[in-house]
């Protein structure tokens, strides 16, 4: 067992010593079997929430209505959830009610895919009731039980399936694929924030091309904001096999560019992303547009940031276009300031020194100083800036 499971073993054993069943479940078990790094350690138990709270001294009710108690033990935090079944789902996402049960088999039946429906006992025994081990070996994603029921219950599972295909490089089993395609329209019922999380993980995965190809194949794209143009979306798949996006800004920026957006804010507003992320994507798009017209300038680096320029240059490299990473590095070394705050004197100091009154004039002058420093035509020292202002005034008096 990996160290994360070893550390959590006393939790399982304490529950079992109290007369209940307890197992590691979910994606962490799958990742252990695939020798992948695990993230969260999830524990399922036959103990009801109140019984779990009696076993452990320190607990927090984080989702007790759904059977989950956070156990604080041995310097760690562990989500312990009661075996459960789920009633009729509402909004194609959430069960109207959960029923706590004592049988592990009933709990595993409600899982999404067979490779996520394992349980691991404290003795290392893997409980596989749905053929997940065979599917792991065959690298296949198969819905648990009836796929139509699984996607009707929770349509987000469609996006999760596409994400797993991209992360694990697994193929969609034929009935699962057909059912995902049949129910793709239900994605319009799911909150866009949750869909964004899944699609973002897909785009930044090692095998994103597989996941994205399947997204197009099941015809899910018309139900995603701004994704109506299949031909434009398919342009992403023209990137070299094995190409990986550096980060989310690059993937969404390039996606937006292929969809014809020159400012990402309009598209990303529909996806309800953070303002910072939207701004970063818009800077990428501006940089991409400028790079198509020629080499980057010092002003581009200052206004858009080195990261934006580098991400664009990487996309040029991926498309076998001419690149000049060294040019970006040279611009970066030569740049004297990163923000206005780095200017050696303030607007207030200039006003005091030259008796300039508040108003548009000082704003225009300070902007001009900023621009000259960025271009490298003015040294960022108080003396040089004051000399520049004297010349600026003198030139202004002659006009």
Q: Are 374 and 299 in contact (CB under 8 A)?
A: yes
Is 150 labelled as part of a ligand binding site?
A: no
Element (H, E) at 333: helix 325-334
Joined together, the tokens standing for residue 350 give 């200039």
Q: How far is the C-alpha of 258 from the C-alpha of 284, rounded, in Å? A: 13
Is 157 labelled as part of a ligand binding site?
A: yes
Residue 270 has φ and ψ, to the nearest 5°, of -65, -30
Is 123 labelled as part of a ligand binding site?
A: no
Is 30 labelled as part of a ligand binding site?
A: yes
Is 42 labelled as part of a ligand binding site?
A: yes
Q: Are 126 and 133 in contact (CB under 8 A)?
A: yes
Q: Are 141 and 170 in contact (CB under 8 A)?
A: yes
Q: How far is the C-alpha of 365 from the C-alpha of 2, rounded, in Å? A: 62
Q: How far is the C-alpha of 130 from the C-alpha of 101, rounded, in Å? A: 19
Is 111 labelled as part of a ligand binding site?
A: yes
Q: Compute the chain's Rg from CA coordinates.
A: 28
Joined together, the tokens standing for residue 251 give 């993937």
Q: What is the pairing mode between strands 89-90 and 98-100?
A: unpaired
Q: Give the list of residues 6+ apart from residue 20 with CB closer than 8 angstroms, or none.
A: 45, 46, 47, 51
Torsion angle in degrees (nearest 10) through CA of 247, 253, 254, 256: 140
Q: How far is the C-alpha of 81 from the C-alpha of 331, rounded, in Å? A: 54
- Binding annotation: 27, 30, 40, 42, 111, 154, 157, 160, 163
- Binding annotation for Mg(2+): 40, 42
- Binding annotation for CTP: 27, 30, 111, 154, 157, 160, 163
- Binding annotation for ATP: 27, 30, 111, 154, 157, 160, 163
């Amino acid at each position: 067992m990996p160290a994360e499971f070893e550390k959590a073993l006393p939790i399982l054993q304490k529950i079992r010593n109290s007369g209940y069943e307890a197992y590691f479940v979910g994606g962490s078990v799958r990742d252990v079997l695939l020798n992948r790094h695990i993230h969260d350690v999830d524990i399922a138990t036959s103990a009801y929430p109140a019984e779990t709270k009696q076993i452990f001294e320190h607990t927090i009710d984080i989702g007790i209505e759904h059977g989950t108690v956070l156990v604080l033990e041995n310097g760690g935090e562990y989500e312990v959830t009661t075996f459960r079944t789920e009633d009729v789902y509402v909004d194609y996402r959430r069960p109207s009610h959960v029923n706590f049960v004592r049988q592990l088999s009933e709990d595993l039946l409600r899982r999404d895919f067979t490779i996520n429906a394992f349980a691991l006992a404290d003795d290392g025994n893997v409980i596989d009731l749905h053929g997940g081990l065979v599917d792991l070996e065959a690298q296949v994603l198969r819905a648990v039980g009836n796929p139509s029921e699984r996607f009707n219950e929770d349509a987000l599972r469609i996006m999760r399936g596409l994400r797993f295909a991209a992360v694990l490089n697994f193929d969609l089993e034929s009935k699962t694929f057909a059912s995902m395609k049949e129910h793709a329209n239900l994605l319009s019922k799911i909150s866009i924030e949750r869909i964004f999380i899944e699609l973002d993980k897909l785009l930044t995965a090692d095998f994103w091309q597989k996941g994205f190809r399947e997204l197009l194949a099941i015809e899910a794209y018309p139900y995603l904001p701004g994704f109506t143009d299949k031909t434009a979306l398919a342009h992403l798949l023209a990137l070299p096999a094995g190409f990986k996006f550096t980060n989310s800004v690059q993937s969404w920026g390039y996606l937006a560019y292929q969809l014809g957006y020159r400012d990402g804010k309009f598209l990303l507003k529909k996806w309800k992303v953070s303002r910072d992320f939207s701004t970063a994507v818009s800077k990428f798009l501006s940089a991409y547009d400028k790079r198509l017209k020629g080499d980057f300038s010092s002003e581009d680096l200052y206004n858009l940031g080195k990261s934006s320029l580098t991400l664009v240059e990487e996309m040029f490299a991926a498309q076998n276009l001419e690149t000049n990473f060294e040019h970006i590095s040279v611009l970066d070394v030569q740049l004297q300031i990163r923000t206005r705050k780095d200017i050696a004197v303030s607007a207030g100091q200039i006003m005091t020194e030259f008796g300039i009154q508040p108003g548009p004039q000082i704003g225009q002058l300070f902007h001009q100083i900023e621009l000259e420093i960025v271009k490298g035509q003015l040294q960022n020292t108080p003396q040089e800036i004051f000399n520049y202002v004297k010349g600026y005034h003198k030139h202004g008096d002659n006009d």
